[in-house]
Amino acid sequence: MGLLFLAPLLLSFVCPPIEEEAKRVGLGQPCGGTCDTLGLCSDGLKCVVTPKTVSPFSFAIVSFGVGGTKAGVCQQEDAGRQLAGGVQQTALDKPEIVAAAKQAVALVSRSSNSLTPPTLKRIVSATSQVVAGIKYVLTLEMTDGSQHHVELVDTPWLTPRWSLVKHDVLS
């Protein structure tokens, strides 16, 4: 009787409290995991866990919850209902996002008065929208630690192709 009473206590696991500014991840990034260690999806995204094939002999791990929560990938909450011309979260590693980020850094550097302007460290967030071309709204982290909010439009049929609409230094 004594061991049976202790079994739930031995098999329980308590996650530490989550900070207000928990790690947020973007579209196509890993999320979830035990105690959300891989991160939480940004606004407008949900963590989708794909079911994995489980051995019929692993019932004990699944039944008692020892295996922890499964990891997933951040996806659009309403991926089936995209609004034509609407703003869409975009995967940060897509070639067109990387190209837009490089163009944004080049356009911002041209307007800079620095002899050694910072370079791109990483893309923090990205959205795209079909307008008269494609409008990209990016948050970029630079090698000097600053973050920049950049809006630019790609119009392949015009010269110059890229135009900077807005640029703000966030930090």
Domains annotated for the chain, with CATH where assigned, are 2-76 (4.10.40), 88-169 (3.10.450.10)
Q: 3-state DSSP helix/strand/coil percent for the chain, to nearest 5?
A: 25, 35, 45
Q: What is the pLDDT of residue 149?
A: 93
The whole-number pLDDT of residue 67 equals 47
C-alpha–C-alpha distance, residues 154 and 100, integer Å = 8
Residue with tokens 């692993």: 58
pLDDT in tens, the chain (171 residues): 555 665 555 566 667 666 645 677 777 777 887 777 777 887 777 787 776 555 555 554 444 444 455 778 777 766 555 566 778 888 888 899 999 999 999 988 888 777 888 889 999 999 998 888 899 999 999 988 889 999 999 998 988 889 999 998 887
pLDDT at 69: 59
pLDDT of residue 56: 55
**136/128 Cα distance (integer angstroms):** 5
- Pairwise CA distance, residues 7 & 141, whole Å: 48
